[in-house]
Amino acid sequence: MTGTLDIVRQVAELRARVKYWRDQGLSVAMVPTMGALHDGHLTLVRTALEQADRVVVSVFVNPTQFGPNEDLSRYPRQEAKDAESLDGVGCHLLFAPKVEEMYPEGFATTISVKGVSAPLEGVCRPGHFDGVATVVSKLLLQCLPDIALFGEKDWQQLAVIRRMARDLDLPVRIQGVPTVREADGLALSSRNAYLTPQDRAIAPALHRALQAVAEGVKAGKSPAELCHRAAADVIAAGFASVDYIEVRDADDMGPVETLARPARVLAAARLGTTRLIDNIGIEP
């Protein structure tokens, strides 16, 4: 059913709508996003609609998770198009707060999730996960959904949010949803819009490199050697640089030398002006 999407911008409006649903005995799911929605986001919404009676999607480009030299100013903002997409899949409510609503004057609290946030993106983007944990905790407390859904493409982010929700006893089930990919393996991302046609042709090499690492680890080969070779392959394919390709424990992001528990091979690499991230699972 379409044509029923409402938009609210204040926390009080969001809470009033959720209370109205709760009073009717309805369950609620939330999908936090930064907008520029693509089919990966819409897959999260469709999954949410299967699991709850009502679905809230937030669109908020969160300034606290961008570093000083990152792309906050040019991050795509297209609320009208996003609202049309959400309406088309049957989302019930769009929460689109202004920065002043989320971070009013005098805001002074930061949530930091130690350990799981430290490697990989934690090294490349200091403070990024503090911004993520803070804004996601606020969104979950503002809405108090039964379930919140996040894409597995940002696997370390998902691990940070799961740890935060456990540690803070947030009464919300955190669910990961598998990465949506193009036919050639490229993970859907809002930042793919920055790729030139030439870059777009090169981009799937990152996913192929991760697949080779995963197959090698399952065959008992050294993760470190496989990742070193994968980084060289990605550079040879035309990427400008590789921030990391590493095999990590799927839950706590600790290093993996032998495959005893579920793991992920995670990567970040730069192609032209665009930084792409991806990961795939490795089951023992």
Half-sphere exposure of 138 (CA within 13 A, CB side): 23
Told to judge if 228 belongs to the known catalytic residues of this protein, a careful annotator would answer no
Please name which of 122, 154, 215 lies closest in space to residue 32, comparing C-alpha atoms.
154
**Exactly one of 38, 41, 128, 207 is catalytic; which is it?**
41
- The four Cα atoms 118, 121, 125, 131 give a dihedral, to 10 degrees, of -70
- In the numeric block, the tokens 């030398």 are attached to 257
CB neighbours (10 Å) of residue 16? 11
Longest dimension (CA), the chain: 58
Residue 108, classed as helix, strand or coil, is: coil
- What does DSSP assign to residue 133? H
Sign of dihedral through CA atoms 130, 131, 136, 141?
Answer: positive
The contacts of residue 6 (CB under 8 Å, 6+ apart) are 17, 92, 93, 94
Torsion-angle region of 218 (φ positive above 0: left; ψ -120 to 50: alpha; else: beta): alpha
Catalytically active residues are: 41
